[in-house]
Structure 1
Amino acid sequence: MRTALVIGCGLIGTSVALALSARGVHVHLDDHDQDRRRTAAALGAGSEDPPQGRVELVVVAVPPTRIAATVAELQRRGAARAYVDVGSVKAGPAGELAALGGDPASYLGTHPMAGRERSGPMAASADLFEGRPWVLTPTPETRTEVVNLVLELASLCRAVPVMMDAAAHDRAVALVSHTPQLVSSLVAARLESADEAAVRLCGQGIRDVTRIAASDPRMWIEILAANPGPVADVLAEVAADLDRTVRSLRALESADEQKRSEGAAGIEAVLRRGNAGRERVPGKHGAAPASYETVAVLINDRPGELASIFADAGRAGVNIEDVRIEHATGQQAGLVQLVVEPAAAPPLAAALRERGWSLRQ
């Protein structure tokens, strides 16, 4: 691939442009918002100059509701050999493009499974897609040349291509992306009017659950409006589970021993189902989930502390699989949780104690 046109200079579009430009592709940028286009160009994502003639690939990075009309217009202009979108919903835009008389042979709907809570070109990064799944939803009409160009796009962005049916993709993202966003927002909304004393008790659990609630509401309204049915189906199932859980908790308040027993059984059932579901989440490098242990270390909140603890772990010959930080309330300190292979936990703990670190159970 030598030339590309990226339409839409938000987080995803600019990240695609940065990745392609970094690997020698001449990228042209376009966005109705001149400030975003200029910012993306200043970051090195590409040129603001319009292409002279047809490019090899157009990457459409606009909201789902605008994808079909944008692709149809570009196809009428003969802007490229192939057209791809990077929206988070696939079946709707494909159907709308057909209704608009677009060419299904030169179009392929895709969805890179990567993002951030922040939006806009300033949040973009050339390595945003590295190691992440990039879903491709070709149809029988899609030309082989188009599929190959899009596979090259994913390769240049260092992503992992995954082939899926468009409707299956939309059901999948409703479960693993769109519903979690709404559930996170619902939990975070409980904090809006909570007592200050309660909010000050927030720990890592509530931070984990509400992290994605910081996302841009305008962006998510557009995404959810393009995939409402599958998301509503998943939320209806969650609502049924919530209703049963509420009844179980009410039963635990009862003076009747039998009801309390039934309530406890109901709570245990949902917790165990949660365990089983969590175990299905892919582990490191997409492999089967592995069992790890955590070594918790108290550190001061000052420059160099994390580097020192990582260096000491390296000297002990231990590979850190994951790391989490829980900041202490009202103190310049925190708890670093080093996630390691079970066999590595005892020697790591011993080595860190020997080097003067304070460990916590």
Structure 2
Amino acid sequence: MRSALVVGTGLMGASVGLALRGRGIPVHLRDEDATAARTAEALGAGTRQAPAQPVDLAIVAVPPPLAGCVLADLQAEGVARHYTDIASVKSQVEHAAVALGCDMSRFIGGHPMADGARSGPLTARADLFDGCMWALTPSAATSTETLNTTLELVALCGATPVLMEAPAHDRAVALVSHAPHIVTSLVAMRLACADEREVSLAGAGLRDLTRIAQASPPLWLDVLSANAAAVADVLEELGADLGRVVAALRAIASTDEAKRSDGADLVGAVLHQGRAGGVRVSGTRGKPQRFDTVTVAVGDQPGELARLFADIHRTGVNIEDIRLEHGVGRGLAHLSIASGRTESVREALSRQGWRA
């Protein structure tokens, strides 16, 4: 990548600019908020000067409801060869881009899973994405060159790419990010009206739990509105679980020994399962993990790479990383997958007509 344009200079956009500038990539900045753009420029995230020629990659760093329109406007201007976004919801952006007639072969959705509790360019930093997962959601039309360029962006920012379909991404973030934000806000809401002496007893655990509730409400309203159905599904299941726990605790408080025992068993089971789930999250980063490589021959016709991702998705195996090699009329996709799954993936792909 030789040049980039970042549109939107809040925490995420300015951090992308800082990361790229730290790797020597010229970055141009654009934002309707002139103050935010000037601040990001002063911090070293790039220049507000318009590029003299199309950049290699335009990064749309605006809220989900705006991303599709901004993408359409940028493509109409011809400001870049390739385009991505970093909004936290992907289906809405993809649907809007299609409806607005965007060139989907030159666009790929993206979402870095970085800490978004703060906002504004003054909170940006070059290492924000170091070690974080960065979801990429290619559509059926996404070209190999666009994917490669965006993979380079992810690598330059120090993140790890994870390839998913847009609906799968939105269901995942509803579970791991959006619904937890609502739950945290509900807990913090109880504290807002609590007695001062009660709040004074709060320890580090509660501070950690409620930290994300301090994020920008307007920003999070945009996010939750864009993924409302998926978040509601998770919260509905959580509400049913909560109802069972409430009933179990009432039983423990009763004088009936059988009810007390049944209630304690249920609450204990929840605590054990919660601990197991927490271990999975705490072990996500930094845990040594073995991967194998499956190499697949891919044609250069539009949509071929997206078809490959869809066929692999049907095997139930995640693509943890990808490296592409170009050839004349054909390329090679080197796919990193969990160790021990290579043979089943090869067989499944062979049945779909791929040379793996």
Matched, 1:49 2:49: yes
Equivalent residue number for residue 272 of structure 1: 272
Q: Report 1 or 2 for greater relative contact order, CA contacts < 8 Å, sequence distance ≥ 6.
A: 2
Percent of aligned pairs with the same residue?
Answer: 53
The aligned amino acid for 1:22 is G
Write the distance in 1 (CA, Å) between the matches of 2:69 and 2:51. 20
Equivalent residue number for residue 118 of structure 1: 118
Write the distance in 2 (CA, Å) between the matches of 1:288 and 1:155. 19
**1:249/1:64 Cα in 2 relative to 1: closer, same or farther (>3 Å)?**
same
Equivalent residue number for residue 82 of structure 1: 82
**1:76/1:43 Cα in 2 relative to 1: closer, same or farther (>3 Å)?**
same
Equivalent residue number for residue 192 of structure 1: 192
Write the distance in 2 (CA, Å) between the matches of 1:106 and 1:214. 36
Aligned-pair RMSD on alpha carbons? 1.3
Q: Give unmatched runs, 5+ long, in structure 2.
A: 290-356
The aligned amino acid for 2:93 is P
Equivalent residue number for residue 310 of structure 1: none
Equivalent residue number for residue 152 of structure 1: 152
Write the distance in 1 (CA, Å) between the matches of 2:163 and 2:177. 18
Q: TM-score, normalised by structure 2?
A: 0.79
Shift of 1:285: 3.8
**1:260/1:288 Cα in 2 relative to 1: closer, same or farther (>3 Å)?**
farther
CA deviations over 1:39-74 (Å, ceiling 9, x no partner): 000001111111112111100000000000110111
Equivalent residue number for residue 39 of structure 1: 39
Write the distance in 1 (CA, Å) between the matches of 2:190 and 2:62. 32
Equivalent residue number for residue 70 of structure 1: 70
Q: How many residues align?
A: 289
SS at match of 2:207: helix
Shift of 1:286: 4.1
The aligned amino acid for 2:206 is I
Contact kept, 8 Å, 1:104 with 1:142, in 2: the verdict is yes
Write the distance in 1 (CA, Å) between the matches of 2:255 and 2:161. 56
Write the distance in 1 (CA, Å) between the matches of 2:184 and 2:27. 36
Write the distance in 1 (CA, Å) between the matches of 2:284 and 2:148. 28
Equivalent residue number for residue 102 of structure 2: 102
Larger radius of gyration: 1
Q: Give unmatched runs, 5+ long, in structure 1.
A: 290-361
Write the distance in 2 (CA, Å) between the matches of 1:22 and 1:205. 35
Alignment of 1:1-361 (within 5 A): 1-283=1-283, 285-287=285-287
Shift of 1:140: 2.6
The aligned amino acid for 2:272 is R
Write the distance in 2 (CA, Å) between the matches of 1:151 and 1:253. 55
Shift of 1:265: 1.5
Shift of 1:288: 6.6
The aligned amino acid for 2:48 is E
Shift of 1:139: 2.0
Write the distance in 2 (CA, Å) between the matches of 1:109 and 1:67. 10
Equivalent residue number for residue 356 of structure 1: none
CA deviations over 1:130-169 (Å, ceiling 9, x no partner): 1111111112311111011101101111111111111111
The aligned amino acid for 2:71 is V
Shift of 1:251: 1.1
Contact kept, 8 Å, 1:282 with 1:288, in 2: the verdict is no
Write the distance in 2 (CA, Å) between the matches of 1:109 and 1:189. 34
Write the distance in 1 (CA, Å) between the matches of 2:192 and 2:282. 33
Write the distance in 2 (CA, Å) between the matches of 1:67 and 1:268. 45
